[in-house]
Structure 1
Amino acid sequence: MSISIENMTKSFGGTPVLRGIDLTVESGELVALLGPSGSGKTTLLKIIAGLEWPDAGALDVHGTDWLRLAAQDRRIGFVFQHYALFPHMSVRDNIAFGLSVRPRATRPPKAQIAAKVDELLQFLQITHLGERYPVQLSGGQRQRVALGRALAIEPSILLLDEPFGALDAAVRRDLRAWLRDVHDQTGSTTIFVTHDQEEAFELADRVVVMGDGRIEQIGNADQIHDHPASPFVARFMGATVELPVTLNAGRAEAPGLDASRLPRRALPDGPATLFLRPADITPQADPNGRWQVARCDSNGAILRIDLRDGDSTIPVDLPRRAPQAAALTRGARVTLRPEAGAIFPAPRGAPAPITPVEHRKEKAI
């Protein structure tokens, strides 16, 4: 089932939450809505489900105007972060619930419902849990039951809101691979909400990065990581170092900066901001360098280095066995060589700030 959203807006109490969303999801596609809290991704998911209504815009699903349909008529499978299982029902009854409460005219016979539940228990690899109650299950098992309940009604669209957010990291990794297999086998159109970048890029065919009620960028992991479309996306993807530079014939220039590894950019000459990730910066020993090593910590594999220039401090992550590492003792002066970065014209006014570094916790060397 394809989904088309056009110019969708939504406000709560006068505060805009969605600011003109345009998005198309192809039939059978798995799309992630990725962004920080407050970006509007859950609100958009709820509007698709019929749990919220937009102030304006269109929602077309496979040629049907879904804004004319009530939630119960959309045949949506919805999986929440905190499972929302019925504690007084067994696993089997939880999975059967959506079929059991259908109007009598459309309700399948009991034998058909039982057969569907058996099929899903086997498909979800939880056959041995059918007679247990939610309190007797682990978090990962509960989430499988929640997905089974959503799949039982054979939904036209599957929606998942932070489905693994309440689980520990190891269980999340296992369930991500499992969910992708479920999606591929069912062929459903799936949209899931997450703030976890690794989860989004591992699972989804396409990732929709949202911020402040807008879609900032749509693409795959490499596209968004290497070519962020806006300063917001660059920061969200970990480019926490922001250096004021001057663009000259497409090259970034600044004191203490060797930008020879960066490609020329088709941008006008003048002030700009260079966005860098700490792992994409190579400090090069230089007695006349602008930056000075203020701190150098190790976690065994990575050196976490703070470089200072006056009141400005930037973080650098460097492999501990990198050739440059031996020269980076406290007090050494260096020049910065970015290996990759994003450049955006600076807003009119003051130059972009350098992001302060977070407190380092590893043992100093």
Structure 2
Amino acid sequence: MTIAISSLTKSFGPTAVLRGIDLSINDGELVALLGPSGSGKTTLLKIIAGLDWPDAGGLVVNGQNWLDLPAQKRRIGFVFQHYALFPHMTVRDNIAFGLSVRPRAERPGKSVIAAKVTELLALLQIPHLADRYPTQLSGGQRQRVALGRALAIEPAVLLLDEPFGALDAAIRRDLRRWLREVHQQTGSTTLFVTHDQEEAFELADRVVVMGEGRIEQIGSADQIHDRPASPFVARFMGAVVELPVTLRAGRAEAAGLDARALERRAMADGPAQLFLRPDAIALEADPASPWVLAHKSSNGAMIRASMRRADGTEVPVDLLRHSAPDLTLGTAYRLRPLTGAVFALDGIAQSDAPRPLPILKEKRQ
């Protein structure tokens, strides 16, 4: 099923939650809606499901205007964060529920429903749990049952709202791999909401980064990670280092900075802001650099360094311990970004205004 969303808006009272969403999703594609709380992800999902309605805009699925259809006619499979299983029903009956409550004229026969449930139990790798009740299952098992119930109706579109948010990290990793395999076998057009970057990038064909009701960027994990489209995306991706630079011939320049590894930007010469992640900065000894090593610590895998300038500005740098150079406190080092993003100052909105750099308070070595 293809999905075409155009100029979709939604407000709750004076608060604008969706501010003109345009998004096309291909048949069989798995798309992640990624962003912080309040970015409009779940509201968009509910509008697609028919659980909420936009103030304006369009929603067309396979050429049909879904805004003319009530929720029960959209054949949506919806999986919630907290499972929403029926506690008085067995696993088998929970999965069969969507088929067994269809109008009589549309309801499959009992043998057809039983065969479908058996097929899904095998796909979900839980046939041994068929006669158990939700209270007898682990969180990961309950989420598999919830997905099975959504898949049983052979949905036109599968929607998942923070499906693994209530599970611990190890179980989430296992279920992510499993869900990707299920998606490849079923071929369902799928959207899922998450605030977890790792989850979105591991699972999705494409990631849609949302912020304050707008789509900030659409792309693959590598594109969004290495080439954020806005200061919002850069910060969301962990670019907590923000340095004023001068742009000349598409290159960012500043004292103690070697930005030759960064792509040239097709921007006018002048003042700009460079956004960097601490783990995307290398250090090279340079007695002429204004950046001096003020602190360093190790967690066994990473060296965390803090580079300080004479004006008190500090930049955190994370280096793999086994490949990091020997670092000496009080020594000057040049910052060499491996990846980063540059934005012209006049292109940074007031809400995107540069923030003070974090000051690390780690124990001196």
Q: 1:358 to 1:82 in 2, by over 3 A?
A: farther
Residue 172 of structure 2 is aligned to residue 204 of structure 1: no
| Equivalent in the alignment of 1:241 | 241
| Equivalent in the alignment of 1:337 | 336
Shift of 1:120: 1.1
> Aligned to 2:323, what secondary structure does the other structure show?
coil
| Equivalent in the alignment of 1:318 | 319
Distance in 2, matches of 1:340 and 1:322, equals 18
Distance in 2, matches of 1:91 and 1:301, equals 43
Structural mapping, 1:30-109, within 5 Å? 30-109=30-109
Distance in 1, matches of 2:344 and 2:150, equals 46
Q: 1:323 to 1:11 in 2, by over 3 A?
A: closer
Q: 1:252 to 1:354 in 2, by over 3 A?
A: farther
Instruction: Flag structure 1 segments of 5+ consecutive residues without an equivalent.
Output: none
Q: 1:4 to 1:358 in 2, by over 3 A?
A: farther
| Contact 1:314–1:354, Cα closer than 8 Å, also in 2 | no
Of the structure 1 ranges 108-117 and 198-207, higher mean CA displacement relative to structure 2 is found in: 108-117
Amino acid at match of 1:91: V
| Contact 1:243–1:353, Cα closer than 8 Å, also in 2 | no
Distance in 2, matches of 1:364 and 1:298, equals 11
| Equivalent in the alignment of 2:357 | 355
Amino acid at match of 1:92: R
Distance in 1, matches of 2:219 and 2:347, equals 29
Shift of 1:323: 5.4
RMSD: 1.7
Shift of 1:358: 5.4
| Contact 1:244–1:353, Cα closer than 8 Å, also in 2 | no
Shift of 1:353: 4.2
Of the structure 1 ranges 115-124 and 133-142, higher mean CA displacement relative to structure 2 is found in: 115-124
Structural mapping, 1:103-142, within 5 Å? 103-142=103-142
Q: 1:151 to 1:282 in 2, by over 3 A?
A: same
Amino acid at match of 1:38: G
Distance in 1, matches of 2:138 and 2:347, equals 54
Could you give the per-residue CA deviations for residues 92-138 of structure 1, whole angstroms, max 9, x where no partner exists? 11111111111222122222222211111112111110111111000
Q: 1:133 to 1:265 in 2, by over 3 A?
A: same
Q: TM-score, normalised by structure 2?
A: 0.95
Shift of 1:184: 0.9
Distance in 1, matches of 2:129 and 2:330, equals 61
| Equivalent in the alignment of 1:154 | 154
Of the structure 1 ranges 287-296 and 175-184, higher mean CA displacement relative to structure 2 is found in: 287-296
Shift of 1:359: 5.1
Q: 1:169 to 1:119 in 2, by over 3 A?
A: same
Distance in 2, matches of 1:354 and 1:329, equals 26
Distance in 2, matches of 1:244 and 1:34, equals 28
Of the structure 1 ranges 144-153 and 166-175, higher mean CA displacement relative to structure 2 is found in: 166-175
| Contact 2:314–2:360, Cα closer than 8 Å, also in 1 | no
Q: 1:37 to 1:348 in 2, by over 3 A?
A: closer
Shift of 1:347: 3.0
| Equivalent in the alignment of 1:216 | 216
Could you give the per-residue CA deviations for residues 192-215 of structure 1, whole angstroms, max 9, x where no partner exists? 111111111111111111111011
| Contact 2:303–2:324, Cα closer than 8 Å, also in 1 | no
| Equivalent in the alignment of 2:299 | 299
Could you give the per-residue CA deviations for residues 233-262 of structure 1, whole angstroms, max 9, x where no partner exists? 111111110000011121211122222332
Shift of 1:314: 1.3
| Equivalent in the alignment of 1:6 | 6
Shift of 1:264: 2.3
Distance in 1, matches of 2:304 and 2:200, equals 27
Q: 1:126 to 1:358 in 2, by over 3 A?
A: farther
Corresponding residue pairs, total: 361
Distance in 2, matches of 1:61 and 1:358, equals 50
Distance in 1, matches of 2:196 and 2:230, equals 19
Q: 1:345 to 1:183 in 2, by over 3 A?
A: same
Shift of 1:341: 1.2
Instruction: Flag structure 2 segments of 5+ consecutive residues without an equivalent.
Output: none
Distance in 2, matches of 1:186 and 1:263, equals 40
| Contact 1:101–1:107, Cα closer than 8 Å, also in 2 | yes
Q: 1:323 to 1:91 in 2, by over 3 A?
A: closer
| Contact 1:278–1:316, Cα closer than 8 Å, also in 2 | yes
Could you give the per-residue CA deviations for residues 17-73 of structure 1, whole angstroms, max 9, x where no partner exists? 000000001111111111111111111000000001000000000011100110011
| Equivalent in the alignment of 2:184 | 184
Shift of 1:334: 2.1
Shift of 1:364: 5.8
Amino acid at match of 1:260: R
Distance in 1, matches of 2:109 and 2:263, equals 65
